[in-house]
């Protein structure tokens, strides 16, 4: 039995090493493609073709038209960072995975935007810490077992809070914030209370899932994440094929009765003065 376990571990590590070598070879042979938006990009076929998260991209394009600054939390290889740069925004990007950063850096350099973006090569949470992150690519998560990723695929990263890292630098700006941190959004938001309370209110696009990609239990902070935004006076809207205004009553109906009509995995949180339904309607 012990021998079988050792072989399993050995094979798993070998698979990780082979995947790493494959990715290195692919990167060395990279060829940039001009996206439909007009910038050069490499690293993800759907992103290169301009068909990655089409509904979310449409919402971002609306938000960028009235914004000055974009905060990209979970920037991955830089698709939305590049989209914001292309639209003329100042950008702050957060990405902890070294392989993703390699692509992010080169995508910015290829477009001549290396001086337009301030990059934080770290994760975001509620306080400074050293933590393990599991997986790679667009699905890396601080949650062990996320999307079935092996616990062997881990690396230690540094994290801190948005309030500590950005402080008062964004005060008075028109800001769009994207948060795509694969299940760790509540802690990240708890460390961003200064940002939540800014005036004018930032426009937040956040991925929040109830049960998707989780091993067993549902997201224990699903309700609390929405309540945190409501505490700071935001309105919530779902983004997707059937967008809707998310109220407290609608959230309870979903959690208690399973009525998931209008619930997607990405949500927009904005000032009540804005027409949120118009922003999420594609």
Please tell me whether the peptide bond between 200 and the residue prior to it is cis, using omega within 30 degrees of 0.
Answer: yes
Query: What CATH code is carried by the domain that includes residue 238?
Result: 3.40.50.150
Q: What is the number of domains present in the chain?
A: 2
Domain assignment of residue 9, given as a range: 1-30
| Domain match, 157 and 253 both | yes
- Percent of the chain scoring above 90 in pLDDT: 74
- 8 Å CB contact between 174 and 213: no
Whether 31 shows a pLDDT value over 90: the answer reads no
| Domain match, 5 and 47 both | no
Q: What span, in angstroms and rounded, lies between the C-alpha atoms of 228 and 209?
A: 16
| Domain match, 149 and 249 both | yes
CA separation, residue 106 to residues 89, 99, 109, 120 (Å): 19, 11, 5, 15
Whether 10 shows a pLDDT value over 50: the answer reads no
Tell me the pLDDT tens digit for each residue of 245-269.
Answer: 999 999 999 999 988 888 889 999 9
Q: Point out the least confidently predicted range of 15-29, 176-190, 201-215.
A: 15-29
| Domain match, 212 and 110 both | yes
| Domain match, 97 and 19 both | no
**Which pLDDT does position 28 carry in this prediction?**
55
**Which pLDDT does position 212 carry in this prediction?**
77
| Domain match, 44 and 140 both | yes
| Domain match, 125 and 229 both | yes
| Domain match, 232 and 206 both | yes
| Domain match, 24 and 162 both | no
Kindly indicate the confidence band of residue 182, based on its pLDDT and cuts at 50, 70 and 90: confident
Whether 8 shows a pLDDT value over 70: the answer reads no
| Domain match, 10 and 108 both | no
| Domain match, 59 and 195 both | yes
| Domain match, 16 and 75 both | no
- 8 Å CB contact between 194 and 167: yes
């Amino acid at each position: 039995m012990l021998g079988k376990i050792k072989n399993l571990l050995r094979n798993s590590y070998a698979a990780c090493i082979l995947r790493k070598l494959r990715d290195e070879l692919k990167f060395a042979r990279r060829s940039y493609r001009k996206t439909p938006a007009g910038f050069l990009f490499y690293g993800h076929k759907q992103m290169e073709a301009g068909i990655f998260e089409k509904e979310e991209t449409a919402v971002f394009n609306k938000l960028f038209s009235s914004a000055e600054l974009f905060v990209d939390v979970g920037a991955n290889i830089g698709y939305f960072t590049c989209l914001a740069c292309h639209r003329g925004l100042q950008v702050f990007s957060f990405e902890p995975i070294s392989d993703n950063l390699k692509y992010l850096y080169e995508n910015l350099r290829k477009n001549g935007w290396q001086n337009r973006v301030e990059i934080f090569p770290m994760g975001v949470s509620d306080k400074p810490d050293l933590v393990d992150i599991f997986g790679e690519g667009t699905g890396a998560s601080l949650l062990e077992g996320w999307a079935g990723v092996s616990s062997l695929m881990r690396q230690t990263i540094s994290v801190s809070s948005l309030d500590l890292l950005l402080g008062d630098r964004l005060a008075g700006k028109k800001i769009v914030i994207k948060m795509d941190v694969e299940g760790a959004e509540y802690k990240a938001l708890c460390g961003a209370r200064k940002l939540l309370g800014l005036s004018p209110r930032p426009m937040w696009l956040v991925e929040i899932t109830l049960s998707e990609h989780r091993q067993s239990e549902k997201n224990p902070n699903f309700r609390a994440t929405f309540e945190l935004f409501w505490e700071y006076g935001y309105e919530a809207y779902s983004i997707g094929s059937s967008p809707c205004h998310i109220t407290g009553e609608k959230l309870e109906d979903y959690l208690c009765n399973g009525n998931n009509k209008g619930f997607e995995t990405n949500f927009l949180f904005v000032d009540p003065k804005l027409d949120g339904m118009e922003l999420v309607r594609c």
